[in-house]
Amino acid sequence: MRLNSKGQVTIPAELRHRLGFATGDEVDVIDDGGVLRIVRAQDLTRGEQAVLRVRGILGAGRTTAEVMELTRGE
C-alpha cells in the first residue's frame, strides 16, 4: 500500500468487503500509540473519539500524580 501525494491510501477491496465498509461511509483515523486505526465514525462515541485523539500526548508510563503535577504546574 502506498501513500499518495494527497496523503491518501486505498483500502484493499477484500478488506472493505470483509469488514463491511461501503462507499460513502464516514471514518475516523485514530493515532493509537503510533499505530493508525481506521474506524467507522459512528462506532465511537464523541467521548471515545476525544480520548483517542489525546492519548499519549502527556507521555506513556506517567503516573496519575505526575500528570496532575504537570497539569497543575506544581
The domain ranges of the chain are 25-72
CA angle 61, 63, 67 (to 5 degrees): 105
**33-56: pLDDT as tens digits:** 889 989 888 767 778 777 777 776
**What pLDDT is attached to residue 10?**
93
pLDDT over 70 at 11, yes or no: yes
Assessment of whether the complete model's pTM goes beyond 0.85: no
pLDDT band at 58 (very low <50, low <70, confident <90, very high): low
**What pLDDT is attached to residue 71?**
79
